[in-house]
Structures are given as structure tokens and as C-alpha cells.
Structure 1
Amino acid sequence: MDGYFDMKAKWGMPAPIVWYKTFVFIFLFFISTTTIKAASGSYGWAYAWTRSSGSSADEFGGQDIAMDSDGNVFITGGFGSTVNFNGTGVGDDDENTANSSYNDVFITKYNANGTYGWTKTFGGSGEDYGQGVAVDSAGNVFVTGYFQSTVNFNDGGTDNHTSGGGTDIFITKYNADGTYGWTRTFGTTGDQLGYAIAVDSSDSVIAMGKFSGTVDFDATDGTDNHTSTSGNIFISKYDNDGFYSWTRTFGNSGQQWDYDITTDVDNYIYATGYFTGTADFNGSDGTDNHTSNGSDDIYITRLSTDGTYKWTVTLGDSGSDRGTGIATDANGHVLVTGFFSGTVNFDTTGGTDNHTASGGKDIFILELKENGYSLWTKSIGGTTIYDWGNSIATDENGNIFVTGGFMDEVNFDDNGGSDNHTSGPGGDLFITKYNADGSYSWTRNSVGATDQDAADAMGVIANSQNVYVTGYYTGDVDFDGTAGEDIHTSYLDTFDFYLTSYTDDTPTVTEIAADPASDSSNVSWTTNPASSTKVEYGLTQYLGSATSETDTSTRVTDHTKIVSSLKNCAKYHYRVLSADSDGNKGISTNQSFNTSGCSASSVTGGTDEYIETTGGTVELTNGQSTVTLTAPDGFYSEGAAIQVNILNSSSVPSAPSGTSLIRDNFYNLLAVTDGNSEITTFDEPISFVVDYGSGTESSYQESTFDVYKYNGSGWDEQNCTLDSTSNTLTCSLEGFSIYGIFGQQLSNPTSSPTSSPTTSSVASAPSCQDQKPTDWPNLFQINVNANQAILYYAPINGSNSNYYISFSEKSNTYEHGTLTEQGPSTGVLSYTVTDLKPKTTYYFRVRGQNGCMPGAWSNEMKITTTKGTSSGKAYYKNFLARILSIFPSKTVSVRGVNTQTDTNNDLCEYKVQSGDSLWTISASKYGTGTKYNEIMKLNNLNSDLIHPDQVLNLGCN
């Protein structure tokens, strides 16, 4: 392996402390400390490891950190010699000894207060390191890293894996109680390195690292080979049980390094690191080449949960620039840290946001939207050679925590203030907090006494109560970054691990509520301790407006603020901010409220998405309907938030004449820029598609459906495109307004065999109805092949003028249909439905009508189309027939039996239906029935229940 980056995959910079120390045996000690409170970020406790005695073994621990939902903390790394991870003294049950003069892997669990839980170790005769750790929703622990030679990964049993020659990658699972789960390993003859690991909300496992040669990443029972000539990046996904999903690889013939990986709330995957030369980052289905500006450049890449490539942004100058830590927040935003040199433009939208390093390397913190567009950047550094960010994390409230190392004096307040911190001569760790809006909160740092005393922070994790930092240190280091002192001394000036905790004392924000009116809203909340009062708000989830900050002279715990000059009938996003007397800010997560004052009705719900100038889609499901807005590239000169607000359908203005509202399809559409300016006219039209769902044919005349625009006093029909096959209406909108979907409602739709869907209770019903009584059509035969079906049906007395043919891939559903004029006729009718799919099951019904509804529906028949090469088949089982007359001998005559069917007269079962009751009459095959024209006489029926106008279901099971 080449250089210090192979020894420690995540080093943001090779801090000077790494280069000149001699490694010897050391022992473990534990120091119990007293918590010293400060304004915020007060020092809680520190837990430090050293090794036992007298060896030159090489060790770097505290490589990564994770936390479960109960606040338990897990760290991983490498150790040598004998280490007591419990800290109660050598010789107890928690003493572990490395298997070689190199390093073994450890995974250790502590509770929120630093109480020891358990340690698992494994290793062989070679070099073995734990580099990344993650925890799933059940508290199971996953570790990745690299190993050499043969290693038994099950420290309570046997599960041996052997590397291919150099170092191979491992992914290991331990259950929440510390019992062994499974291990997957992959590699080849060269050096393969596992660096980072994450678990998504579905508890799938995503690992990241570097490989060379040809590697089979499917470590289960398949093969998925990927080849790299010089060392490319891989991202692999396994499920929680260790079964392989996919791998994506990217890079070039130059250098690429991976540093960190994370997922967001929607299971998108983000990774960061650095590259040189020209690299193709699209590891799935295409090419996306990026070229570095000189030396190392930063990359940030996004994949979907199935591994589909989404985007990559790259940043850098001619010097060395690297991304080392990545995290996401509850809003789906991406936070990245690392270091840069020279002058770097951190604006990823095509604009300019230049930052210039004060010394050789400076720290950066960058926030991106989920589409890769930058929101803000902070840069921090002194005038000396190295300052570096290593890791970044967010808590439940969106607060941001960054850790790494720095040298000499650095002002950590990048918001124009001053918060200077000075390291010891050898360099020290820092932990910095930013509020969710990017404003500065506080910084704490360790202090080493001499140039031989130093510390580096490798990992950070946080929740709303505590922030934890892990890494390594050497010499005498004071870990209390406040007014107190807690000096830890490593043994014989070698490197020891540490885990330290800070308690976050920023104000808590609770009981948030809004009481909106038409153009204003009263917002209230509670804080502890007493704090100032401020509200940020806007029509987009990026806010953009703010009230003044009040209650600063005399801070309060109960807050009320009026947000005024709002737009009527809109959805507003907001959050509340309160700062205590020391300037520490409590910031809530984004909330929302809907203003009243709508010209048509009030907002009851909805959704909104930010769409860049390159276009995008907003989709809303509303009951049985789906609304989709698609903005093309160049729809407007700047990006916009597009709102689809659902309006209250119980208070629809008078419907267009002769129509009713279709279900609850009543919307207010709104588009606003980042500056909360409403867009009245688009540069390119936006597509508006409403999928109103299936089943409307039983209650509405579908051919009359259209979109109507409300003009303040009435409705303007938009003449949109109706597709009854897909149940959609499609319009092209040049501006937004209030829209409803209307159509003619059927009178008495109860003759449908299924219940009618819910419709608007206030829309007036049209006068449209059948001009004369309709016949019940008997659907008794369907002939099919691969792509078409021929339906045979007959009315009772031939009075129907029109028939509606309905079919679907679901039973009792009216999804597709067509109207045909075929009457009046007393004979057997037929209709051919084309463009069906081969080997697909369909359900057919026929409705007879004499006007515009409601008509009368037939029985449902189920058929399955054939393969493409089949000549077809016929279905005529279980057809219905209506009794016309009854003879004294219990012989009945029925209409609807086609002479093509039942040529052997082998009917063996009759079902007699009366209202909701159904009687089945079983019999042997009858040979006494006679047929004439299209009426059949059935003899000797053994039932007293038969009377005219009942229905017989004829057929054999």
C-alpha cells in the first residue's frame, strides 16, 4: 500500500503528528471526568484507550463512529498488542490481544454515558483494519474495512475467510446483542480497501471502497465481475441478511479515493472523495466524465436506491482539494466537509462562490440541495500549512457538526464574527456546530502541550442531546474544550484512541403551532431556556423571508409572532428560531400552514417540489386520482417551487352547466421563485395530466370529462385531451390558476353491478338520462386470440340503441371502454376489442343504454388471451339468461342462449337469482331442452322458486 492514506482511509490531512512517532507497547487506562457546564458544547466526558506494554505494533483506532436509536455509540478501528477495552484493568473479561504484530479489527459498544457494552475483535497474521461502522433500525452493527491472510470473523465460532494475496474487503454484521451475524469478503491479488459503510431506511447495507484488478463483488452465490487497471471506486449494496444486490464502479486510470458515504430519507445514496485526471462517474448506464483542475479535486456523487446514476458535482483548484465527510439532513439536503487549497468556486449552479484558502489547506463545509445545487459554503482556516475537516453529522433538528484537525490559530466563525481557537504546537482536534440555517454556533478543541502532543478527530455523530467524537491522540492532550481541564497522556508517546462527548445546550423548541388567516398567520412556540423570537417563512421549502428578531432584551419562554403580507390560498413553509443569551440558536424543523381567502375554496392539503430551470416533475396522489405536472427544460428563467394544493371539494362554486365535479379533483396550482415571486406566465408551457382513475363509467358519462379553469366568477373549459383508455386528461398550461375536473353525472347509477364511487355532494346532477327503459344485455360468449377478443351478447327484447364495452385487467373495474351503436336489435350482437396483450387476463362487461345513461350492465366474463402463435379459443361458460315464461311443467323459456353454444345441450346446473338471494339447482345433464331461434326451453326444473324476470346462470362447473 502506498502512503499514509492506506493506513488510515479517512485522514482529511496527514497531520504532522503521524509522521515522526515510534510505535511501542502501551496500556489502556480510563479517566472518569467531571462535567463542567459552559454556554453550549460543554465538555461531558472522555474515554481514552492506550495499549498494554512494550511493543512497536502499529495502531490507529477510532476510525469511525455510529449511534443507534437508543443513543448507544459504536466505534471501530485497528489495535495491536493487548488492550482492555473495558478500562477496568488488565486481566478482566474484556481484555483482547491482537493476533499478529500488525493490527486487528475491533468494534466496541458504549451506552450514551460511556458505560462499556461489549467489544468484538478479529484478525489474522497480516494487516487488518476496521474503517467504517453503521447501525440499522434494530441496533444491528455493520463494519467494513480490509484484511490480509486468513481471518476468522466469528469471534465466538468459526467463519474463516482468506484474502487473495494483498488486502481484501470485508463487510461484517453483528447483531444488537453482539452475537455474530455474517461476513462477506471480496478481492483479488492486489490491495482492495473497504473504507465507508451506511445503512438506509430499509436497513439495506451500502459499502464503499477502492479496488484494482478484476473483483467479483457478489460474495454470495453469483458472479458480478468489475475490472480496474489502477484503482477505481466501488459502491456495493447488500440486503440486511447479506444477500447481494448490485455494485457500481467509477474512475479512470489516475487516482480516485473514496472517503465517506451516506443515504437520505428516500434511500438515495451520496458519496464523496477525490480524483485526478478525467474520471467517468456514471457506473450504471452511460458516461459522465469530469476532469480535475490540476491535482486532486473533490467529487460528490448521487445514486438511486437501485444503483441508477443521478449526478456528480466536482470542485477544485490546481492544488489538493478533497471531500472527506458527507451527511444528509431531514430535508434531503447534503452536507459535505473536507479541505481545499488555492481558490475554489463552490457554486454548483453555474454561478460564482469563490473561497480562498488562508494557508496551505483550509476546511470547507458545503450544503447542497438533493439535485446537487449548492445552497451555501463555509471556509475556515489559519495561515499555517494544514487545517482539515474529516467528518460531518446532523442531528434531528438539522444542526450540523463538523470535526477534524487544525494547527495554530483559526477563527471558526465564518459568519463575520470572531471565535479564535489556538492548537498546541503539534496540531489538535476541533468540533464545530452550525445551526440548521448555516449560522455559526460554537467550537471546542483539544490542546496539546508541545509539538510532540497532538490529536486528530476522525468521526462524529450526534443526536439532540449529545455529540460524540472519536479519533486518536499522542502525548499529553487536554480534551476539555471549555474552561476546565482533562488531560489524557498516551503511553510512551504512541497513539491511543479516544471517545469524547459534548452536551449540546442550545434552546429546545417545542409546541409549535400556526393559526393562519387569509393574508397572515399567528405562529406560537415554547423554548427552554428563555430565548428570542423569530420566524423564517416562504412559499418554498427553502423559505426566503423572515420576521424581525424580538424579545432580545428580555428573553421569554412562550413565543408569539405574526407573519403578515402573505398570499391568499397558498401553502407556506416556516420554521421558528430562538437564541439564548449566549447566542446559541434553537431552530425547529420546517413546518407548514395553508392560508385562507381562496376565491373558490380553502386549501386542505397538497404537495410542492422545487424544479430547476432544466425541468422536472411534481406528482400528487389525491384519493383515486393522480395529478402530474411536468415542466420542460427552460420553462422559466430561474428555478421555482411548484405547488399542487388540494381545495375543499365540499365548497365548490357552481359547477359548469350540466356537470358535476369528478371525485375530488379540485386544485389550486402555484409557482414561485426563490424570492417568493409568483410566476404568472411560463416561458415554455407546463404539462398538466390528471389520471382520474377507473370506475367512473358507472357514475359519469366519461366522454364529457374536461378540465375547467376558475376565472373568479365562473368556469372556462380548457378543451384538454381525453384518453378513456388510460383514464387521463392532458392539458398544456402557460400559467397557473384554480382548476377542476367536471363531467356529466349519470342519473340512478345503481344498475351498475358494483357500488358507485363517491362524488361531490354539492355539484348539481345533470338532467341526462336514458330516453326509454334499457334491456339487460346477456354477455354469453367471448372468442379470443393473442391480441383481440370478440364479444357476443344479446338484449332481452332488443330495445337498446347503444352498448358500452368495458374491460380491465382487474375484476369489477371499469378502466377501458368504447361506445358502439348497434340497435335496436333482438338478435345476437358482437363487438371486437383489439390491441390486447398476449397471455393476459381481462374482465369484460357490456352496458346497454338508450341515451346518455345509466343503462344496464351485463354479467362480468373473465378471459385470458393466448400466446402470439395461438389461433384462439372460445369462452362460453356460466352465461346468464333471463326467464321469459314458465310453463305448467316447470319448463321455462330463456333468451340469450346462442346456437353456437352448448350444442350438446349439456347444461348441468342452474342458479336462480331473486334479489340478493341465489339458489343453485343441481341436475344431471338434460337432453330434453329444445332451442329455437335464440330462445331455449329448459324442461323439468325441480324448483318452486322460478318465476318470470329471474336470472338463470347456466353452465357446468
Structure 2
Amino acid sequence: MKTIKNIYLYLLLFPILSLSQSFQWIQNGGGNNTISGSFYYQKEQVIDIATDSQRNVYIISIVSKDGALVNENPITTYEANSNNYDFLLVSYSCDGNYRWHKVFGGGSSEYPSCIEVDSQDNIFIIGFFAECDLPSDLYYSTARIGDNNGIDYTSPNTPTSCQRTFLAKFNSNGTFQWIHFPYSAIDNFPYSSHPFSSRNFYIIDDEIYWIASIPPGSYEGGSFSNTNNSFPFLYYLLKYDTSGNFISATPFDLELSNYTSAELRWYRNPYNGYYYALYLNNSSNNITVSAGGNNLDYTLPKIICFNELGQYQWHRESTGTNFNFLAIDFDSSNNVFISGATKGTTTDSFLGWTLNGLFTGASSYIMKCNPNLTAYNWVTYYTTPGFIAGYIQQPLTSIYYDTFNNELVFGGSIATSTFSWNPVTLTGPGSNNSSDPLLARFDPSNGSCLGMHRIIGTNGYQDAFTSIEQDIAGDLIVGGYMGLDLTDSYGNTSFTSGGNSDFFVTKFANQVCQSLSNESFESDTIEIYPNPTKNILNIINLSENCEYTIFNIMGSKVLYGKVTRESNSIDLSELQSGYYILNLNKSNGLNKTLKVIKE
């Protein structure tokens, strides 16, 4: 969930020395083993990032078995085989100090999907246990969750009742709360059944919306079933409260005839509530793909749109398999920003645009489209002539719309001597010297590059960004993988623990950490909920009556009034969807400022 607001207002409320943006710190971790896998499980790398109201950072990464370190300290892992891996949840403070960690593992290779934070700063993880403790095979061990202090959870799985995909909750201090499986013992799933597959999830008004591919069977103790055997792989939107209680299951109007090697990446537009599935080309399986009753070409990359009820709206395709879509984001006008890549000297196109085979290697592009993707506003791509040594890494979250600074942010890697993205040129690691992490910023109105920022590592080792998030002060938290070492903007170098990579996380900011909560309110434990909210915002734990003012992201006052312990709700129904600042003022002049998201 994006938690951002306007920099002008932030500087008015919290005066600080303005500095140029820099990579302020780097933290990393990992094991000694070399990892191989599919999609974004090929390295120890950051899969997803979340932040909370205190600007704490939470990351998830896969981690190999032997010699695993976090913050240069050994951690306990549970994997029995050095060829496989566990996954890891790590928390850092705003200034990069290690807070706590949890390891999920034990059976073959465990997969993390995504991480979210609710309005009370609780942490939610969706993941996958790979095995079910097969007693005849000592190659695996029992799946569990824990840390160096002990075990929080041990799986009761058996080969005849196999629960693998889960939703888990921790509080902000890392205390395990609960774990929930969509299929319980009563549903009796055998190990041989194809796994329930998570794609993404979101927390909206403190309710969990979970996107998953679900094979035929009964779920949630019989509350709903997938009985479609003609198109057995259906996508559902599952809804839960933050205590893990099941609320509903809504099918998307999308059906697959069998499991596909093509990846579907799912995104939600927070401004209109629509869902978008990015279908990467699938050349290895001859399958049927149906959306809204339309049989789609299974070989072509496409973007498929569904409304908030899962109903098919439209789809858009490229003309060939060498023009791909890899990540999208949105602005408040519902414009769609696409990042992707073309391969080779392709003449494939999308919405009438093609790169015309300018490069012999992979070529990255960023495109701004209208809300229905019937036309594009602009396209930008790197303009370095000739062959590009390596490629620009295009991970799941490589494009990010920064509402705080009104910029578009791209995360990937640079792998050449001199790199140009009009009108900015950046010196890279050199041809045949592998890659360094690259963060590029663009003007969303016209696609002009505003700046490119590289973290320097030793030549010959692969380093890249793979995930981007933003905290409530507008600082970018960026994670990825590193091959040997990386050096932050202040000359501090971090080294890997071995293997083919370590995960790393860094903060890209122009300011030191500063709490959004004013010291004058430290004695109060004021909380707001739900946040994000659709209409009513409740304020609890008020010690006395307060005046309130709400500002929009341009710093304009849009609402004001009074709240008391008895009348503690604010009606936001007249406000447009977006990000706001709530300023509470006591009678003695003391104040507290909180961010609010209006759905």
C-alpha cells in the first residue's frame, strides 16, 4: 500500500535541512548457497516491501540454508537441503537499524508472495510451504516459522491433509499472532493436489483482499468451492478481516484450461478499485485462456482489466511475443503507466507503437496510456546506441508512481559504459562488467527523465533493484539483490555472505529520519481507523477535545472542525480519493499530524 503525501506540506509541518537525494544506508543478508529457480525466485532478493506509520521497514526475501546472515549476524534456518531455500521477513527502523526477523521454512523451497501493513501497524504475509512432512523421505523437514529465539509455529501437515498456502499475521514488534490456511483439515487436500497459488493481496479499510489461483476443491471449511473442471484454474478475490476470518470469495471472469508457465501479475488501481492482470507470453503450453467469454490468444502478452466485482472489462494485446508488459501503476486520473521490454530487433507493437528494432539486445520502455488503454500519451526508452551489454532488469514492481513528488520511478539495473535516457546520461560499470542497481525518475506529464541514480558495486557481479515502496514521509525504500558488495552515498560498503547473491534494502531520501508524530502528543496513543477509509474516519484515545484541519497533497485546507471523546468521527465522504494530512490541535497549542488515505 502506498503511504505518501506532498513534500511541500511535509516541509511546512516538519522543518528540516533540505539535501539532495541519496542512498542513505544499505542493509543486506543471505546464505552461502547458490539459488536457482523461476521468475523472481532465482536469487536471494527482495520480493516485496512495506512500511508502517513509524516509518519502520519490512522486507521479504528468499534465503539459502548454509551460513545465513542478517545484519552480519547468524540466523537459524530450517531447510534440510542446501539446494533449496527458506524465506525471510526482516524489519528495520527508519534509519536502517535491524529490529527483528522471522524465518519461514523446512520443507523443500518456501515461497513468499507479498507483504502488507494495516492501520494498526500489524504485518501480514502471504506465503507457501513447499512440502507436507513426508515421513518416508528424510530429504525434507517439517515446515515452521521462527527465529533465533525459538519456534512460533510448526506445521501439522500430513501427506493426506496438506495445507501449504497461508496468510500469517505479526504485530509491529515481530510477535506472531496467527496463521490461516484457506483449505483446512476438513477440506482434506492431499499432497498430490496442485497447489493453491497466491498472486497478490491488498488491505483496504482494514479488510484483506487476496488474489489467488484456485484449483478445483472445497475451501474455508466448505464455505465455497471451485467445481469448474472444464477450466479448472480459476482466479478468485478472497476477502478476510484482519483477525483472519473468512468473509467472501468472488471469482474473476478469467479461466485457464490448465496450469501455465506464463506468469500472471496482478495489480489494483486504488483510485477506481479495478484489477489488472498482466499475462506474460506463454510459449510452452497449448492452453485455453478465456476472459469474459472471449477466448484469448494464449501466446501473446496482454493486459486484462476487471472491475471491483471481478467482471471482465477489456483486454489489450501486443502484436507479438517480443513486446512484453512487466509492471504497471496508476495516477489519480486513472492513467496507466506500463514498464516493459522488447527483445531483439522486433517489429512487434502495442497501441501502434514499436521500437522498430533499434537494438539487438533487450530494450526497456515506459509508456503512459489513457485509462482504458485505447491510446498512449507518450513512450520513453533508453537511447544508448548499439548493443546493450546485459539488460535493464524488469522485476514485479519496477515502476512506481510517486504521488509525494509527482514523479514516476523506475527500478532496475545498468549494464553498460555510458547510458542515456533522454535527456540524462549516466556512467555505468562498463561493457561486459555485469550490472549495478539503477533508480531512474521521470516527469509523468511527458516522460522526460529527471535523473538517474546508481549504486556502485564491484565490476563483474550482478546487482539490481527488484522492489520499490515509499514511506509516509515520501522517502523511497528500494530493495533488490547484490552479487558481492555495494557502497552507499556516504562510502559505507556492505558485503555478501556468499552464494550467487544477497538481498539488500536501501533508503533513497533527502532527509534524516524524523517521526511524523509531534513530541507534544507522546503521552497520547491516538489512533485513526479505518485507514484507508471510504467515508468515516474515527479517532480514538483522545485525552481532550481537539480542533482538526485536513489538508490535501497541495497543502490546501479542505476540512476543519472539532472532535471530542464522545464525538470522534470525521466524515470524508465529500473528499476525492487520494492522500491527505490530518492535523489535530489541543487547546494548549500542542498538535499531532497523521496521514490519511481516502479510497
Q: TM-score scaled by structure 2? A: 0.65
Partner of 2:223: 222
Q: Which residue identity does 2:437 align to in structure 1?
A: L
Partner of 1:474: 483
Structure 1 residues 544-693: aligned runs within 5 Å: none
> Contact between 1:346 and 1:374, CA under 8 Å: does it hold in 2?
no
Q: Which residue identity does 1:73 align to in structure 2?
A: V
Q: CA deviation at 1:427?
A: 2.4
Partner of 2:494: 488
The one of 111, 115, 121 aligned to 2:103: 121
SS in 2 for 1:336: strand
Q: Structure 2 CA distance, aligned partners of 1:233 and 1:378?
A: 34
Partner of 1:170: 166
SS in 2 for 1:491: coil
Q: For residues 25-74 of structure 1, give each alpha carbon's deviation from its aligned partner in whole angstroms, at most 9, with x where no partner exists.
A: xxxxxxxxxxxx998442211111133x6x56766231111222332221
Q: Which residue identity does 2:95 align to in structure 1?
A: N
Q: Does 1:287 align with 2:290?
A: no
Structure 1 residues 224-243: aligned runs within 5 Å: 224-225=225-226, 232=233, 234-240=235-241, 241-242=243-244, 243=246
Q: Structure 1 CA distance, aligned partners of 2:103 and 2:575?
A: 49
Q: Which residue identity does 1:160 align to in structure 2?
A: P
Q: CA deviation at 1:339?
A: 2.1
Q: CA deviation at 1:492?
A: 3.8
Structure 1 residues 775-814: aligned runs within 5 Å: none
Structure 1 residues 873-888: aligned runs within 5 Å: none
Partner of 2:317: 315
Partner of 1:581: none
Q: Structure 1 CA distance, aligned partners of 2:303 and 2:465?
A: 22
Partner of 2:4: none
Report the CA distance shift for 1:248/1:170 in structure 2 as closer, same or farther (over 3 A). Answer: same
Q: Which residue identity does 2:450 align to in structure 1?
A: S
Report the CA distance shift for 1:372/1:56 in structure 2 as closer, same or farther (over 3 A). Answer: closer
The one of 179, 184, 203 aligned to 2:181: 184
Q: Structure 2 CA distance, aligned partners of 1:281 and 1:466?
A: 41
> Contact between 1:144 and 1:194, CA under 8 Å: does it hold in 2?
no
Q: CA deviation at 1:170?
A: 2.7
SS in 2 for 1:63: strand
Partner of 1:78: 62
Q: Which residue identity does 1:427 align to in structure 2?
A: S
SS in 2 for 1:419: strand
Report the CA distance shift for 1:489/1:88 in structure 2 as closer, same or farther (over 3 A). Answer: closer
Q: For residues 496-532 of structure 1, give each alpha carbon's deviation from its aligned partner in whole angstroms, at most 9, with x where no partner exists.
A: 1101111158xxxxxxxxxxxxxxxxxxxxxxxxxxx
SS in 1 for 2:434: coil
> Contact between 2:28 and 2:503, CA under 8 Å: does it hold in 1?
yes
> Contact between 1:146 and 1:167, CA under 8 Å: does it hold in 2?
no
Partner of 1:202: 205
> Contact between 2:235 and 2:255, CA under 8 Å: does it hold in 1?
no
Report the CA distance shift for 1:261/1:104 in structure 2 as closer, same or farther (over 3 A). Answer: same
Q: For residues 252-304 of structure 1, give each alpha carbon's deviation from its aligned partner in whole angstroms, at most 9, with x where no partner exists.
A: 4564312343341343333324144786453xxx4133326xx5513243331
Q: Structure 1 CA distance, aligned partners of 2:315 and 2:304?
A: 5
Q: Structure 2 CA distance, aligned partners of 1:312 and 1:153?
A: 41
Q: Structure 2 CA distance, aligned partners of 1:163 and 1:590?
A: 60
> Contact between 2:45 and 2:466, CA under 8 Å: does it hold in 1?
no
Q: Which residue identity does 2:29 align to in structure 1?
A: W
Q: CA deviation at 1:455?
A: 1.1
Q: Does 1:269 align with 2:278?
A: no
Q: Which residue identity does 2:462 align to in structure 1?
A: A
Q: CA deviation at 1:128?
A: 0.7
Q: For residues 572-623 of structure 1, give each alpha carbon's deviation from its aligned partner in whole angstroms, at most 9, with x where no partner exists.
A: xxxx9xxxxxxxxxx959999xxxxxxxxxxxxx9999xxxxxxxxxxxxxx
Q: CA deviation at 1:233?
A: 6.5
Q: Which residue identity does 2:65 align to in structure 1?
A: S
Partner of 2:407: 399
> Contact between 1:300 and 1:314, CA under 8 Å: does it hold in 2?
yes
Q: Structure 1 CA distance, aligned partners of 2:171 and 2:469?
A: 20
> Contact between 2:57 and 2:93, CA under 8 Å: does it hold in 1?
yes
SS in 2 for 1:74: strand
Q: For residues 694-727 of structure 1, give each alpha carbon's deviation from its aligned partner in whole angstroms, at most 9, with x where no partner exists.
A: xxxxxxxxxxxxxxxxxxxxxxxxxxxxxxxxxx
Report the CA distance shift for 1:316/1:478 in structure 2 as closer, same or farther (over 3 A). Answer: same
Q: For residues 357-411 of structure 1, give each alpha carbon's deviation from its aligned partner in whole angstroms, at most 9, with x where no partner exists.
A: 6343222323344444454343434533532322222333342222123432564
Q: Structure 2 CA distance, aligned partners of 1:428 and 1:193?
A: 36
> Contact between 2:224 and 2:249, CA under 8 Å: does it hold in 1?
no
Report the CA distance shift for 1:162/1:404 in structure 2 as closer, same or farther (over 3 A). Answer: farther
Partner of 2:465: 457
**Would you say how many aligned residue pairs link Structure 1 and Structure 2?**
456
Q: Does 1:353 align with 2:361?
A: no
Report the CA distance shift for 1:317/1:379 in structure 2 as closer, same or farther (over 3 A). Answer: farther
Q: Structure 2 CA distance, aligned partners of 1:410 and 1:204?
A: 47
Q: CA deviation at 1:84?
A: 6.6
The one of 437, 441, 450 aligned to 1:441: 450
Q: Structure 2 CA distance, aligned partners of 1:41 and 1:96?
A: 36
SS in 1 for 2:94: coil
Report the CA distance shift for 1:158/1:449 in structure 2 as closer, same or farther (over 3 A). Answer: closer
Q: Which residue identity does 1:204 align to in structure 2?
A: E
Q: Structure 2 CA distance, aligned partners of 1:147 and 1:320?
A: 34
CA RMSD of aligned residues (A): 4.0
Q: Which residue identity does 1:289 align to in structure 2?
A: N
Q: Structure 2 CA distance, aligned partners of 1:279 and 1:356?
A: 31
Q: CA deviation at 1:468?
A: 1.4
Q: CA deviation at 1:471?
A: 1.7
Q: Which residue identity does 2:355 align to in structure 1?
A: H
Q: Structure 1 CA distance, aligned partners of 2:24 and 2:332?
A: 27
Q: CA deviation at 1:467?
A: 0.9
Q: Which runs of 5+ in 2 are unaligned?
A: 1-16, 37-42, 133-142, 184-188, 512-551, 559-573, 578-599
Q: For residues 797-834 of structure 1, give each alpha carbon's deviation from its aligned partner in whole angstroms, at most 9, with x where no partner exists.
A: xxxxxxxxxxxxxxxxxxxxxxxxxxxxxxxxxxxxxx
Partner of 2:249: 246
Q: Structure 1 CA distance, aligned partners of 2:53 and 2:262?
A: 34
Partner of 2:564: none
Select the structure with the greater relative contact order (CA < 8 A; seq sep ≥ 6).
Answer: 2
Q: Structure 1 CA distance, aligned partners of 2:227 and 2:322?
A: 29
Q: CA deviation at 1:231?
A: 8.7
Percentage of matched positions with identical amino acids: 16
Report the CA distance shift for 1:200/1:156 in structure 2 as closer, same or farther (over 3 A). Answer: closer
Q: Does 1:108 align with 2:90?
A: yes
Report the CA distance shift for 1:233/1:459 in structure 2 as closer, same or farther (over 3 A). Answer: farther
Q: Structure 2 CA distance, aligned partners of 1:324 and 1:107?
A: 25
Q: CA deviation at 1:433?
A: 1.7
Partner of 1:328: 330
Partner of 2:50: 66
Partner of 2:131: 149
> Contact between 1:203 and 1:239, CA under 8 Å: does it hold in 2?
no
Q: Structure 1 CA distance, aligned partners of 2:402 and 2:480?
A: 20
Q: Does 1:98 align with 2:98?
A: no
Q: For residues 879-932 of structure 1, give each alpha carbon's deviation from its aligned partner in whole angstroms, at most 9, with x where no partner exists.
A: xxxxxxxxxxxxxxxxxxxxxxxxxxxxxxxxxxxxxxxxxxxxxxxxxxxxxx
> Contact between 2:415 and 2:429, CA under 8 Å: does it hold in 1?
yes
Q: CA deviation at 1:145?
A: 3.1
SS in 1 for 2:355: strand
Partner of 2:118: 136
Q: Structure 1 CA distance, aligned partners of 2:454 and 2:217?
A: 42
Partner of 2:22: 42
SS in 1 for 2:364: strand
The one of 392, 403, 426 aligned to 2:434: 426
> Contact between 2:370 and 2:377, CA under 8 Å: does it hold in 1?
no
Partner of 1:365: 366
Partner of 1:893: none
Q: Structure 1 CA distance, aligned partners of 2:575 and 2:52?
A: 31
Q: TM-score scaled by structure 1? A: 0.43
Report the CA distance shift for 1:163/1:121 in structure 2 as closer, same or farther (over 3 A). Answer: farther
Q: Structure 1 CA distance, aligned partners of 2:44 and 2:232?
A: 24
Q: For residues 754-785 of structure 1, give each alpha carbon's deviation from its aligned partner in whole angstroms, at most 9, with x where no partner exists.
A: xxxxxxxxxxxxxxxxxxxxxxxxxxxxxxxx
Q: CA deviation at 1:99?
A: 3.5
> Contact between 2:117 and 2:203, CA under 8 Å: does it hold in 1?
no
Partner of 1:727: none
Q: CA deviation at 1:75?
A: 0.9
> Contact between 1:73 and 1:110, CA under 8 Å: does it hold in 2?
yes
Q: For residues 149-206 of structure 1, give each alpha carbon's deviation from its aligned partner in whole angstroms, at most 9, with x where no partner exists.
A: 2334574245534577999433323333433233224576355374542324323323
Partner of 1:635: none
> Contact between 1:303 and 1:311, CA under 8 Å: does it hold in 2?
yes
